[in-house]
Amino acid sequence: MTKMMGLYLVMEAIENNEIKLSDKVKCSLEASKIGGSQIYLKENEEMTIDDLIKSVCIASANDAMYLLGETVSGSNESFINLMNEKAKEFELKNTNFTNVMGFDDANHYSTSFDMGIIAHNLLKEYSDLILKYTSMTEDYLRKDEANPFWLVNTNKLLGDYDGMDGLKTGYTHEAGYCLTATSKRDNLRLIAVTMNAKTIKERSNDIKSLLNYGYKNYKSVKI
């Protein structure tokens, strides 16, 4: 879920015309070495900003997020600084980033409340663009190659919960199964966050319970 902050900064760079979705960027050696969930970028391989965002939103690709960070700010370190500066701007009192992927680290931490605030800002400013990606259940990369790379969304509530169209899953050994989810019904958009679930099923059930409570007890009123 750390990648939500990275995605906010990417969207901000697009809005400021610093990068375009059609831009092709070349993969660095550092980005190609990132482990965990990935799209197996090779050093010097070129990929569009559009496909990199898609890879992060659908498949939570670490190498794609790392490369996007380098592209936006010039280096991984400066992008992490930008993430922490934005956290201060959002007044997140219990969040600190040490990497762009969300890997376990003693000084890399957040709370469900802070993640909800990040999601709120992401949706408030860039909902049309971000939801275009996070609502996709699947897609392909490298479509012109003999074996295109299949992306499958890690959010299993898509198509299973009425109104679900995002936002970002997460898993590490220490954090467990996590999800910041959003859905919209009758002009009411809700955000729910769960952390440290033991299984994907438990994570999904937590989110369903939270959203069901929200739709039962709240409604959208135009003032």
pLDDT single digits (tens) 65-80? 999 999 999 999 999 9
Alpha carbons 161 and 187: distance in angstroms, whole number: 16
**pLDDT reading at 82 higher than 90:** yes
pLDDT higher than threshold 90 for residue 113? yes
Residue 131: is its pLDDT beyond 90? yes
Report the C-alpha gap between 111 and 173 in whole angstroms: 16
pLDDT value of position 222? 87
Question: Which residue is listed with tokens 């190609």?
Answer: 32
pTM, 2 dp: 0.96
| 140, containing H or E segment | strand 138-141
State pLDDT tens for residues 162-183.
999 999 999 999 999 999 999 9
